[in-house]
Chain A
Amino acid sequence: MVESAKPVPPIWCPGCGDFGVLAALKKAAAEMKVPTHDLVLVGGIGCSGSIHNFLEINGIHALHGRLLAQAVGVKLSNPHLTVVAAGGDGDGYAIGMGHFMHAFKKNASIIYIAMNNETYGLTKGQASPTSQIGFEGNIERPFDAILTALSIPAPNLIARTFSGDPKTMIQVLVEALKFTTEGRGFAFIEDLSPCVTYNDTYKLWREKVLDVSKSPGYDPTDRKAMFRICLETMEAGRIPIGVMHRPKEPAQEGLEMKLLGDAAGPARSEIAIAPNLGAYQKLLAGLA
């Protein structure tokens, strides 16, 4: 056994919602039997983005907001890898918003876990894109990632989980791992992950979360119905959780499948001159 980078203890405050994601991720990966050397975790900037340091996997710590661009680059480079991007609401919905929207459209088979705590914890509690009106003087209406995700007509898996409900989180992660392994595309999971220091919402969220699968007319293949259910749940003062979209499209909708099919991918293709000599000569001979 070769000694390589070992996990370090989490930097999170005791009780942080991000511990729930860490535990669920370990269990889901173990259940799916993903070899640790084939698992890549792309971390964003913020407390949540340090999660890759705490697991026995390959980690890359991306720039603030850029984790999805890097994660898509990893997947398209080596589609054999299981790629999970993880960051916070500031990272994903503020500085990274452009990449967030395009991740749905690109539909590469990666999982994105956005740990939403409605604040910038690491910089000590400023208002974030999802902060409620009144939090730290916030006067802007909060952004809702699920409604946004549902508005993009792409065959993505869309779900929201709650760190106070680890059982559902593991189920959703297992589904997301299956989804991406089958090359079906982008799996977005927003996890409600309270910041116990700057915005402790455990109690509030436990009261407000509502499993949409129990709502009348629940059909995660029906985008229109799910948008209505989520909106009505929010208007009733509750927070919808569960699987919000499960696409009808068959397997191989993922960007890497469309580009590469069964090919090895850029990272694993043969680049020595000798095996490519004939093709290179032909390419250059085509120049006139």
Chain B
Amino acid sequence: MTTPAARTTPLVETSSPGAGPVAPQLTDVSVMIGGQGGDGTLTVSDLLGRYFRKRGLYVYLSRNVLSRIRGGHADASVRGSQAAVAAVKTEVDVLVAFDKEAVDIGKAELAPHGYILYDSTTFQVDLPNATGFPFATLVGGPLGQPIFKNTAAYGALSVIFGFDAVETRAVIEDRFKRRGGEALEKNLKALEIGRKAALETPGLADRFSIADGDAHDFIMTTGNLAAAMGFVVGGGRFFAGYPITPATEIMEHLQKYLPAFGGVVRQAEDELAAVNMIIGAAYAGARVMTSTSGPGLSLMTEGIGHAGAAEIPIVVADCQRVGPSTGQPTRHEQSDLSHLANLGHGEFPRFIIAPGTPEECFLLTAEALNLAERWRLPVILLLDEALCQNATTSRRFELEKVRVDRGERLSGEAVAALTQYKAYAFTDSGRSPYAPPGTPGVWAEITGNEHDEWGHVTVNPANRVRMMKKRMEKMVKARDELPTANLFGPPDAKVGIIAYGSTTGPVREAQGLLSARGQSTKFLQPRTLYPVPVHEIDPFLQSVDVCYVVEHNYTGQFARLLRETMPWHFQKLRSITKYDGANFRAPQIIAQIKEVA
């Protein structure tokens, strides 16, 4: 056991490279596993992640897969760190290659001390830091199938990193015990085959050691799972969706968990149906959500506008991916914000809420349901591929922080005490009390046509003006209820950074690296993007000399929105953008900050 390094310098490797009696000790390790789809690269990263967690490390799993069921190159990476990181590590310490392409892609990312372990059954690598194992043959003979090569690779890695043998085995037992019997037995055999091969290779054992961490009682989760959990405990009871990467898991998790709470989950015939089904369900009184991504969002735009006009509370989770059109379904981007801020024809209010971590996905999904019902409008839960699908260690979700606030929802008794019930009543708060159908004694007209307080269709100009103001002013009146921004870094820092969503992870890491170099920055992570929280962002921008807006798109959409809203800060705002389909790594952000380069 080793002592965890101080939190302030989390990312520094504690020993120098070069062979010596002491193995280089890493406090932050990254392993990349590449191969053909179906090679089980994700299994290797999952097994390593499990081991790292046993050792108290923070874990970040990411993947680079193609939009196909089997075949084609796919890679996964796993990071274990003493620090609470939420991004891919810049350099790969060990690369496991099941195909040649993995070497071609991965070698450029290899650390100077980095090491390649490859399956020499089908190809050779002529590099000094590469060792070949005929994994497929090694396991294929005794186990009858080469598919266990992933577990054998995990076994070899356990030797290279000097893992504890008992815990290494316990990971396999945990992972495969549910499948039981033969699967467990064969994987344990594959583990031993991998370990034996590595132990018999000179110079491989204990090549590195990994310092333990103190991250215990953490769970492993994705943003999609967290959002599904937030929906359940936030009182969400009706969900309709249509399968689309990277949003599908929200629907799948809810299919598993929601029925036990009397909820309904439906896979619709398309996104038009999905959004209209939740509109109908919300009108009838349920808390609702749908989740989608780019192309589906385009289809749902019609329904979201309808919900805005008819004042129907819906939550739409947009799991952003590379667009436009089919784009790159499995890759990361944050390029829907401009669309969402201006979404739909005509004008209607909407809130865009952007969590940055799974914990925030959990809490803000629940809060989005409150905001939607209190203000009777569509709330967009803005997520992104890395946040949705990359699994990270996360603190346990705090149920105590969840509240259910339905606003002026009228019960049967409350209605009975009224003399009048108008579904679109003008009120000082800007919120109209609502009684869903089935409430005895009253009925309501709900419509996307312009309407009066009763819900009757009208073209009266004075009414039109008053109704437009009633709806649009929700974006002003709700200001103090919207999720607040997070601020990281010293108050006197003069270099500012603004980013949202999963970009929070690499920005936080960049701040740590800069801080270690004596460069101070402060980072504002807005969690409400629209209406733009000027009351938070303006003072922040006032306090810095320059501010970098870090985001994943070509045109700098968030920076543009900020310039448009606060033109007086035009000169201070600079864009750092990335749109290659992969999420930022901390040094890529640092490299573009001129003041500290």
Chains A and B are bound partners: yes
Size of the chain B interface, CB-CB below 8 angstroms? 74
B516 within 8 A of A: no
Q: Which of B80-137 contact A (CB under 8 A)?
A: none
Tell me the A residues contacting B by CB distance below 8 Å: 1-6, 8, 35-38, 40, 42, 50, 52-53, 56-63, 66, 69-78, 80-81, 98-99, 101-102, 259-260, 263-273, 276-277, 279-281, 283-284, 287-288
- A37, B442: Cβ atoms under 8 Å? yes
- A272, B404: Cβ atoms under 8 Å? yes
Contact of B229 among A50, A74, A284 (CB under 8 A): A284
Can you spell out 28 A-B residue pairs with CB atoms less than 8 angstroms apart?
A4-B421, A4-B422, A5-B455, A5-B456, A37-B437, A37-B442, A60-B445, A60-B447, A61-B446, A61-B449, A66-B276, A69-B268, A70-B280, A72-B280, A73-B238, A73-B282, A74-B281, A77-B285, A102-B273, A263-B262, A266-B238, A266-B264, A267-B281, A267-B436, A268-B285, A272-B235, A280-B399, A287-B396
- B261, A276: Cβ atoms under 8 Å? yes
- B404, A271: Cβ atoms under 8 Å? yes
Q: Tell me, in angstroms, the Cα distance from A56 to B457 when the chains sit together.
A: 15
Q: Which residues of B contact A69 (CB under 8 A)?
A: 268, 272-274, 276-277, 280
Closest 6 CB pairs of A and B: A73-B280, A271-B235, A266-B237, A69-B276, A267-B285, A70-B280
Contact of B443 among A4, A78, A288 (CB under 8 A): A4
Choose the segment among B411-419, B476-484, B582-590 that binds chain A (4+ C-beta atoms closer than 8 Å).
B411-419
- B229, A271: Cβ atoms under 8 Å? no
Q: Given the known inter-chain contacts A5-B456, A78-B437, A288-B220, please indicate yes or no for A63 contacting B235, CB distance below 8 A.
A: no
Q: Tell me the minimal C-beta distance from B192 to chain A in angstroms.
A: 26
Q: Tell me, in angstroms, the Cα distance from A6 to B444 when the chains sit together.
A: 9
Q: Tell me, in angstroms, the Cα distance from A36 to B437 when the chains sit together.
A: 9
Give the A-B pair count, Cβ closer than 8 A: 230
Interface mask (B358-398 → A, CB under 8 Å = 1, otherwise 0): 00000000000000000000000000000000000000110
Contact of B419 among A2, A81, A272, A288 (CB under 8 A): A2
Q: Which residues of B contact A259 (CB under 8 A)?
A: 259, 264
Q: Which residues of A contact B441 (CB under 8 A)?
A: 1-2, 4, 37
Q: Which residues of B contact A81 (CB under 8 A)?
A: 284, 437-438
Q: Tell me the minimal C-beta distance from B70 to chain A in angstroms.
A: 28
Q: Which residues of A contact B285 (CB under 8 A)?
A: 77-78, 267-268
Which residue on chain B has the smallest CB distance to residue A73?
B280
Q: Tell me the minimal C-beta distance from A273 to chain B in angstroms.
A: 6
Q: Which of B277-293 contact A (CB under 8 A)?
A: 277-288
- A2, B416: Cβ atoms under 8 Å? yes
Q: Which residues of B contact A283 (CB under 8 A)?
A: 229, 232-233, 257
- A40, B284: Cβ atoms under 8 Å? yes
- A76, B418: Cβ atoms under 8 Å? no
- B445, A61: Cβ atoms under 8 Å? yes
Contact of A73 among B225, B257, B276 (CB under 8 A): B276
B219 within 8 A of A: yes
Most buried by B among A5, A42, A269, A288: A5
- A266, B306: Cβ atoms under 8 Å? no
B440 within 8 A of A: yes
- A35, B440: Cβ atoms under 8 Å? yes
Q: Tell me the minimal C-beta distance from A108 to chain B in angstroms.
A: 10
Which residue on chain B has the smallest CB distance to residue A38?
B438
Q: Given the known inter-chain contacts A62-B276, A283-B257, please indicate yes or no for A5 contacting B438, CB distance below 8 A.
A: no
- A74, B283: Cβ atoms under 8 Å? yes
- B418, A269: Cβ atoms under 8 Å? no
Q: Tell me, in angstroms, the Cα distance from A240 to B457 when the chains sit together.
A: 37
Q: Tell me the minimal C-beta distance from B84 to chain A in angstroms.
A: 18
Q: Tell me the minimal C-beta distance from B242 to chain A in angstroms.
A: 11
Q: Tell me the minimal C-beta distance from B214 to chain A in angstroms.
A: 19
- A73, B443: Cβ atoms under 8 Å? no
Add 7 more A-B contacts to A4-B444, A66-B302, A266-B238 (CB < 8 A).
A1-B441, A37-B442, A61-B449, A63-B276, A70-B277, A72-B277, A267-B286
- B443, A5: Cβ atoms under 8 Å? yes
